[in-house]
Amino acid sequence: MSGHVRVDVRVEGVVQGVGFRPFVYSLATALGLAGRVGNDVEGVFVEVEGPKPQVDEFLRALERDAPPLAGIERVSVVAGRPGSAGGFTIVDSDASGHRRALVSPDGATCSDCLRELADPADRRFRYPFINCTNCGPRFTIVRDVPYDRPLTTMAGFTMCAACAAEYHDPADRRFHAQPTCCPACGPQLRLLEAGGSEPPGDPTGLGAAVLRAGEVLAVKGLGGYHLAVLAGDEAAVSALRRRKHREDKPFAVMVPDLGRAALLCELDGTAAALLTGRGRPIVLLPRAGDAPVAESVAPGNRRIGLMLPYTPLHHLLLAAVGEPIVLTSGNVSDEPIAYVDSDAFTRLAGIAAAFLTHDRPIHIRTDDSVVRPFLGRESVLRRSRGYVPEPVTLRWEAPRPILACGAELKNTFCLAKEHRAFVSHHIGDLENYETLRSFAEGIDHFARLFGIEPELVAHDLHPEYLSTKHARDMTAAEPVGVQHHHAHIASCLADNGEPGPVIGVAFDGLGYGTDGTIWGGEFLLADLVSFERIGHLAPVPMPGGAAAIRQPWRMAAAYLDEAYDRRPPERLEVARRNHTRWEDVVSIGRAGLGSPLTSSAGRLFDAVSAVLGTRDTITYEGQAAIELEQLADPAERGAYVATVSGGGPLVVSGADLVRAAAEDLLAGVAPALIAARFHNGVAEVIVRCCRAFRDSTGVTAVALSGGVFQNVLLLERAVDRLRAGGFRVLTHFRVPANDGGISLGQAAVAAARDRAGVLTGAG
C-alpha cells in the first residue's frame, strides 16, 4: 500500500527516566501509528509505522514536544520495511550492547506533584517521596544502567497494586517512572532523636518543632544529610558553627518560596529564574538591607546563598516551619558530607538533636550546587546535585576516551568520550581519605554508567597531588600531563566552545609551574593543545609555604619587605598585630627557608587583605580575598598602578600595589577606598598587559579563569575594561572558574593533543 511507511528511530541523550517512552507512546497512539518503543543502553529506540504524513508528523513532534527533563542530543532515523501492523507497545529494557544512555540529574519536585502533595483527596497527600517521570531522584539513586528500578536504590520497594497500575499505564504521568511509590509501598519518613528513640507523631511536624525549639535537625536529602537550624536564630546558628567546627564560611539558607527569598536578598528576573531552575542550586545573591537572618549565617558577607525546596520533604518541612532555615552539609569541619545512615548517626550525633530520615538509600554522595547570576546568565561556582551527570558537550570530539583526574582541592574528575565530557560532581579535598575513596569509586561508577574505558589519563603536573598519583598508578592508560593554569584556560575555552588561541589570564591560589615554582598570576598565550607563558606576577616568597596560605599576614610581611626594599614603615598595624612572629617570618622568607617562590594572584589579594586589617588568618579557602572584595567601595573609580617590566614574559609588580595600599592606609584613606583602588589596579594592569600581548601576537580574545575570578568586583571591572578596549572576553558559565573546572580543561587539552597527533600512542 503506497504511503504506508516504517522508520526505525534512535534517540540519544538524556532520554531515560524522564518520561520519554510514555511520551512516544501517547504521541504514536494519538497519530494512530503502530510499532514499539523501548530503552536500551544507548538510549531510546522506536519502531513506528503508518501513513507517511502521520509518521512525518511523529518525527517532527518527537523533538518539538519532548518531556521537560529530556535532553535530546541526537535523533537518527533509518527507513525500514513495513511489517504486520498491530498496536503500539512499550517493550522491556534491553541491557545488551554499548552503554550510551545518559542518566539524568536529580530534578526538583514538579508542579503536578506539588499539587498532589497538597491535595487531601490524593493518595499521596503529604507523602514526602512523591515523584513522577518529570521530577524526583535520579543520579543519586542510580547504581547501574540501564536506568530501571532494579538498578536503583528503589529496588527494595515493591510497588503496590495502585502504583503498579500507574507505572504500567501509558497514559499516566508515572508510566515507567522508576522511583514511583506511595505511602503504602514506598520509603517511610521517621524522626529519630539523637539517643535513638522515635517519638510518636508526624515526623515532619516533630522535625519542625525541633527547629522551632532552637535545636539542630539533621535532614536526609537527595545527596546526603544536611544540618538545619532556624536562620533567624543567632544562638542556634552559632551553636551549629561551634559543633561543626566551621568558624566563618557562610551557610546556605533555604526559604519556603520566592516571596520569602525577596525579603532576604535582592531578587531580579535572572535570580528568580536561577532559584526556580530544575537543578535548584544554592544561588549567591546580594543580601537585602534588613535581611532577617542571624549574623553568623554569613559573617561579614554582603551575599547570601539561597535555595528553594527541591524535594517533597523539604516542601513539607519548610511549610511546617514557616520561615527560612540554614541548610548546610552534614559533616564536621572539612569532612565529606555524610550520606550513609549509620555513618550519619555516628558522625552527626554530637551535632544534631534529631534526625529526619528515611529508608531510601543514597547511592552516591552529592553536594548542593552553587551558582550566581553574571551578565544575566547562570554562572556555576560548584557543579553538583541537579547538574551532574549531564555532560558538557565538547565542540571537538575526543578521538580516544579520556579520564581527567582534576586538581587536589575542590576536586572533580571528568570522563570524556567523543563529544561528551562527563564532569563529576564536586568531590572535595583529596587529602581526606573518605574523599579520596569517593574519587576512586566515583571514577569507576562513571566509567560503568557511561561505558567509558579511558585510554588517556590527563593529570596536573603537581607531583604531590593525590590526583596526579592516582593517574600515575593507572598503567593501562597513556598519561597526559597538563599544566594547572593551561587547564584553567582550556576549561574556559571548552566552556565557551572555542579552540583558541586566546590570551589566557589565569589568576588563582596556586598551581605547579613547568619550572617547578608555584604559579598563580599567569598570562598564557594558549590554545587547547599548548601554551606559552607570556606574563606573570613577579615572584615573592611564601614564608612557611602552606602556613602563608593559612596566614595571609605572612604574605603581607613578604610583600612589604619587597615593596619597601627590606625597610617597611614601622607604623603599619599589620606588623604590630603580628609582632611576635613578624621578624621570624621575614627572615625565613629572605632565607628561602621553607618559603617557595610564587607568582600567585591569590597571595597578592591575601597580602592586601592583611595590610588593611581585614584578615590576618583564614578559616576557609579564599576568605581573605572574599572579605577584601566585600570591603571595597564599588563606587570608587581610582586605581593603583603596577609596574610592568621584562621583555620575555612581562613581569607585573604586585609589590607596587601593596605599597600603594600601605601608603594610602598610612595617609588615613578609608580601607573601603583602598580595597577598591587595589581591585581596580589589578583590572587595569590586566588590560594593560593584554594590550601589549595583542600588539605582539594579534590575538584579540581574552579568557579569564582561575579561582580569583570568582571575585565579582574584579571580574566585572576586568570584563568592562577589556570590552571597552576592544577585546572579546570569555568567562565561565557551565563549569567553575576555580579548580572544580580543572578536570574539564585537562580533558579538553588531552583530546586536542590527541587530535593533533602529538601524543605517543596517537595513530
Partner 1 sequence: LAHGAGGKATRTLIEDVFLESFRNPLLEPLADGAVADGVAFTTDSYVVTPLFFPGGNIGDLAVNGTVNDLAMCGARPAYLSAAFILEEGFPVADLRRITGSMAEAAREAGVTIVTGDTKVVQRGKADGCYITTAGVGMVDPGVRLSASAAEPGDAIIVSGPIGDHGVTVMLARGGLDIEADLVSETAPLNGLTARLLGACGGGQVRCLRDATRGGVATVLNEVAEAARVAVVLDEEAIPVRPAVRGACELLGIDPLYVACEGRMVAVVDGRSAGAALDALRGHPLGAGAAVVGRIAEDPPGLVLLRTGFGGTRIVDVLVGDPLPRIC
Q: How far is the CB of 521 from Fe ion (least distance, A)?
A: 11
Residues forming beta bridges with residue 424, ordered by sequence position = none
The one among 163, 218, 494, 586 contacting Zn ion by CB under 5 A: 163
| 249 near partner 1 (CB under 8 A) | no
Annotated catalytic residue, options 21, 278, 603, 615: 21
| 248 near partner 1 (CB under 8 A) | no
- Kindly state the helix (H) or strand (E) to which residue 365 belongs, with its residue range: none
- Kindly state the helix (H) or strand (E) to which residue 729 belongs, with its residue range: strand 728-730
Residues forming beta bridges with residue 80, ordered by sequence position = 6
| 205 near partner 1 (CB under 8 A) | no
374 CB contacts (<8 Å, ≥6 apart)?
A: 712, 715, 731, 733
Q: How far is the CB of 163 from Zn ion (least distance, A)?
A: 3
**Chain centroid, CA 331 distance in Å:** 18
DSSP per-residue letters across 206-244: HHHHHHHTT--EEEE-SSSEEEEEETT-HHHHHHHHHHH
| 548 near partner 1 (CB under 8 A) | yes
Q: Which is nearer to partner 1, 594 or 638 (CB)?
A: 594
Considering only residues 653-712, where is the footprint of partner 1 by CB under 8 A? Answer: 707
| Contact call for residues 424 and 446 (beta carbons, < 8 A) | yes
Binding mask 453-472 for partner 1 (x = CB under 8 A): ---------xxxxx--x---
| Contact call for residues 694 and 673 (beta carbons, < 8 A) | no
Q: Residue 431 binds which one of Fe ion, Zn ion, partner 1, none, with CB within 5 to 8 A depending on kind? A: partner 1
Tally of CB atoms within 10 A around 115 = 10
The one among 10, 143, 581, 755 contacting partner 1 by CB under 8 A: 581
SS3 (DSSP) at 499: coil
| Contact call for residues 153 and 129 (beta carbons, < 8 A) | no
Phi, psi angle pair for 661, to nearest 5°: -65, -45
Q: Which is nearer to Zn ion, 124 or 488 (CB)?
A: 124
- Ranges of H-type helices in 154-213: 161-168, 203-212
Annotated catalytic residue, options 6, 10, 36, 39: 39
The one among 546, 666, 723, 758 contacting partner 1 by CB under 8 A: 546
Q: How far is the CB of 156 from partner 1 (least distance, A)?
A: 27
Cα separation, 40 vs 12, in Å, equals: 10
Q: Residue 463 binds which one of Fe ion, partner 1, Zn ion, none, with CB within 5 to 8 A depending on kind? A: partner 1
SS3 (DSSP) at 286: strand
Q: Which stretch binds Zn ion (CB under 5 A): 152-160, 291-299, 316-324, 631-639?
A: 152-160
Question: ω into residue 203 within 30 of 0, thus cis?
Answer: no
| 549 near partner 1 (CB under 8 A) | yes
Q: Kindly state the cell numbers that stand for 78.
A: 533509518
| Contact call for residues 173 and 23 (beta carbons, < 8 A) | no
Q: How far is the CB of 159 from Zn ion (least distance, A)?
A: 6
| Contact call for residues 52 and 4 (beta carbons, < 8 A) | yes
| 508 near Fe ion (CB under 5 A) | yes
Q: Which is nearer to Zn ion, 15 or 209 (CB)?
A: 15
Q: How far is the CB of 684 from partner 1 (least distance, A)?
A: 25
Give CB contacts under 8 A, 24+ apart, made by 126-129: 126/204, 126/316, 127/182, 127/183, 127/186, 127/312, 128/189, 128/204, 128/311, 128/312, 128/313, 128/316, 128/358, 129/179, 129/181, 129/186, 129/187, 129/189, 129/312, 129/313, 129/358, 129/360
| 8 near partner 1 (CB under 8 A) | no
Q: How far is the CB of 536 from Fe ion (least distance, A)?
A: 14
The one among 367, 368, 378, 739 contacting Fe ion by CB under 5 A: 739
Q: Residue 135 binds which one of partner 1, Zn ion, Fe ion, none, with CB within 5 to 8 A depending on kind? A: Zn ion
| Contact call for residues 6 and 81 (beta carbons, < 8 A) | yes
| 185 near Zn ion (CB under 5 A) | yes
| 588 near partner 1 (CB under 8 A) | yes
Tally of CB atoms within 10 A around 645 = 9
411 is catalytic: no
Q: Which stretch binds partner 1 (CB under 8 A): 95-103, 121-129, 330-338, 419-427?
A: 330-338
Q: Kindly state the cell numbers that stand for 137.
A: 531522584
Q: CA nearest 400: which of 28, 757, 24, 41?
A: 757
Residue labelled with grid coordinates 508510566: 175
39 is catalytic: yes
Q: Residue 409 binds which one of Zn ion, Fe ion, partner 1, none, with CB within 5 to 8 A depending on kind? A: partner 1
Q: Which is nearer to Zn ion, 162 or 593 (CB)?
A: 162
Considering only residues 393-422, where is the footprint of partner 1 by CB under 8 A? Answer: 408-410
| Contact call for residues 447 and 145 (beta carbons, < 8 A) | no
Q: Which stretch binds Zn ion (CB under 5 A): 79-87, 153-161, 475-483, 518-526?
A: 153-161
Q: Which is nearer to Fe ion, 148 or 508 (CB)?
A: 508
| 591 near partner 1 (CB under 8 A) | yes
Q: How far is the CB of 365 from partner 1 (least distance, A)?
A: 15
Q: Which residues bind Fe ion (CB under 5 A)?
A: 508, 511, 739
Which residues are at the interface with Zn ion (CB under 5 A)? 110, 113, 132, 134-135, 160, 163, 182, 184-185
Q: Point out the residues that are catalytic.
A: 21, 39
Which residues in this chain contact partner 1 in the complex, by CB under 8 A? 245, 332-335, 347, 408-410, 430-434, 436, 462-466, 469, 508-510, 512, 518, 542-549, 581, 584-585, 587-588, 591, 593-594, 596, 602, 621-622, 707, 738-739
